[in-house]
Structure 1
Amino acid sequence: MDNISNTEWMLLIALMIHLTMAPCTKVEESFNVQAVHDLLFHQMNTSQYDHHQFPGVVPRTFTGSIALSAVVYPFAKLMQWYDVPKYWILYAARLLLGMTVLLSFGNFARCVQKHYGQHTAHFLRFSFHFLRNFVLFDEMVNSFGHFQ
């Protein structure tokens, strides 16, 4: 916890506020949200997957959804055990994606700080703060690339 800067804590707080105030998804995210749902609730029963009713999807776009679903799966099963509504599983998936992107960005910012100094890293973090509403936990294909 000592290596986390104050600006990274501010990004984490901003993430939590944004997720609380705007927990729903945008239209652009609907395919990946549905893919996460299908992977969590239908697993290997691909005949139940939503993209059979709405064809035209690209199979490789499932890669990020598979990775996210694999990590969310234990939490989803626990929530199902306690009859928690599916809405909260979506919330957990978005939170996990946001935290993963924040963690990878924090590591990147610390590397920038090490090589270019604290002012450059702070500038990078504050610039990212502006973009966080769009990239932190949006379940879009380009958002999944942020944590590679």
Structure 2
Amino acid sequence: YAVANSNLGHDSGVEPGASFAFNNRQAEIDFGYRAVHLTAAAGKRLVAAYYGKRQNYSYFEGCSQGGRQGLMSAQRFPDDFDGIVAGAPAFNYQGLNAAGTWNLQRMFRDGLAGNLAVDTDGDGSFDSLALMDVLHSQVLDQCDTLDGIRDGLLSDP
């Protein structure tokens, strides 16, 4: 058997977030649907060249972003794969982003966890991590002995 994969043209270590596609329509298209199709075609050519015959079957499996890729492949290039497993596909990005923003607003509205990307005192640690340590200590102080023993574990949260 043979396996092929793709980063869809997005090297997240070099180009964080969606910056790779800023003012780059081809990058949007590649990430959106084309890269999986091209990867499948290239993989099939390599299999044929190496084994001297075409593959018997071709399958796609992915979850989250990979699940979205599977759905796009099924819709746009239905002949690329004999079967597709599209687990927990990420779709409706506008809705996902709105829900994520709403969740973050609820989580951080009282300032408890702070801003995840802020280091106000320059100690190299995000402020929210220090605040989470405070929260952890408070929870243990109030709840650790509810099971009859102080052991640093919450048996029934």
TM superposition score normalised by structure 1: 0.29
Q: Which has the higher helix share?
A: 1
Q: Which one has more relative contact order, counting CA pairs under 8 Å at least 6 apart?
A: 1
Structure of greater Rg: 2
TM-score (norm 2): 0.27
